[in-house]
Structure 1
Amino acid sequence: MSMYAFHLEGWEDLSTWGRDEDVYYAQLIRNDASDDEGPQIWISPPQYVIHDITELVRIVASSVGEPAELIDEAMGRGLALTRGERIPPVARRQR
């Protein structure tokens, strides 16, 4: 099982994504929300059985209302944090 930070501004404190065996997942919690009752957005089996990272990016993007390119970058920065790189979270689009 792998677990990485989801490094998108406003979501970066507690949100994670990863892979459990051959299935990708995401557990997303806004920074201003409590995780006492679990993630606000939970993308995992049985509702979602995702075997492709591109599909996970698409579903996360739709769930948080941001473009897929931004989500891909936020997930990539989570991987970079695992390697010990110090980077800022991805800034969300201004609306």
Structure 2
Amino acid sequence: MSEQAVAYVRGLRLADPDVERVLVLLAERTTVECWGEEPSVMGVELDDSVDIPQLAAAAGMDAQQFRSLLRQLKTMVPMDVIEHDGGVWEIVYGPSYTNRGTNAVKSSTSAPIGGIQPFTMPGWDRYSTWGYEDGLGHFYAQLYRNSDNPDAAPRIWITPPQYVVTTVDDLAEAIATAIAPYEAVPPPAEVIKIWLKH
């Protein structure tokens, strides 16, 4: 159990008891990432066929009701609720979501990063994007091969809790590692940075 995550959820003082009950159940399984001394990003991954029925039973509802409430959570609490292909739910929340504007962008060039940026690596340049989550203190990337369906979930999603990247250099490293299985000759992070244009 993550006492920090449970304390954070209790501190939100949510008016809806069902929402609070679900969030406390998630908090009990949460991983906490700390930047400095304070917790900033909290996240949990759930298996749709195993974790969702267990959590639903603990919340006193059926699995479909629980899924529906999960999808609604991000409209009630500052957080990301992402349904990946393969039955994986990724839920990310925490103080960096509720205390927006407290984190500064860190890049190797010290130039501000704003908006959605194209990822211009050949073979991945048609739909792939990256950027900085303003106020959350981390970078992200959504990577599609050019042959992928742009309406589907990204082939590779660089985002917390699996990746907490706070510099462009770290983002390039994460992308280089993630795309290596898809490339005959995987490019190093230094080359990936060339395709992170901003």
CA offsets 1:38-90 (integer angstroms, 9 cap, x no match): 100000122212112111110101111221122100112xx2xxxxxxxxxxx
Range with greater deviation from structure 2 (6-15 or 37-46):
37-46
Quick check: 1:20 aligned with 2:133?
Answer: yes
- Displacement of 1:2 in angstroms is 2.2
Whole-angstrom CA distance in 1 between matches of 2:120 and 2:146 = 11
**1:69 counterpart letter in structure 2:** E
Contiguous gaps of at least 5 residues in structure 2 = 1-113, 181-186
1:74 maps to which residue? 195
Output the amino acid matched with 2:132: R
TM-score (norm 1): 0.74
Q: For the residues of structure 2 that align with 1:47 and 1:35, how far apart are their CA atoms?
A: 22
Q: Separation in 1 of the partners of 2:130 and 2:158? A: 9
> Number of residues paired by the alignment?
77
Relative contact order, CA 8 A, sep 6+: which one is greater?
1
CA contact (8 A) 2:163 2:174 kept: no
Structure 1 residues not aligned, in runs of 5+: 80-95
If you compute each CA radius of gyration, which structure gives the higher value, 1 or 2? 2
With the length of structure 2 as denominator, give the TM-score of the two structures: 0.37
Match of 2:122 in 1: 9
Greater per-residue helix proportion: 2
What's the RMSD between the two structures over aligned residues?
1.3
SS in 2 for 1:55: helix
State the alpha-carbon separation in 2 of the partners of residues 52 and 70 from structure 1. 16
Deviation, structure 1 residue 36: 2.9
Residue identity matched to 1:57: A
Residues of 2 paired with 1:44 and 1:2: CA distance? 16
Does the residue aligned with 1:19 lie in a helix, a strand or coil? strand
Could you say which residue in structure 2 is the equivalent of 1:46?
Answer: 161
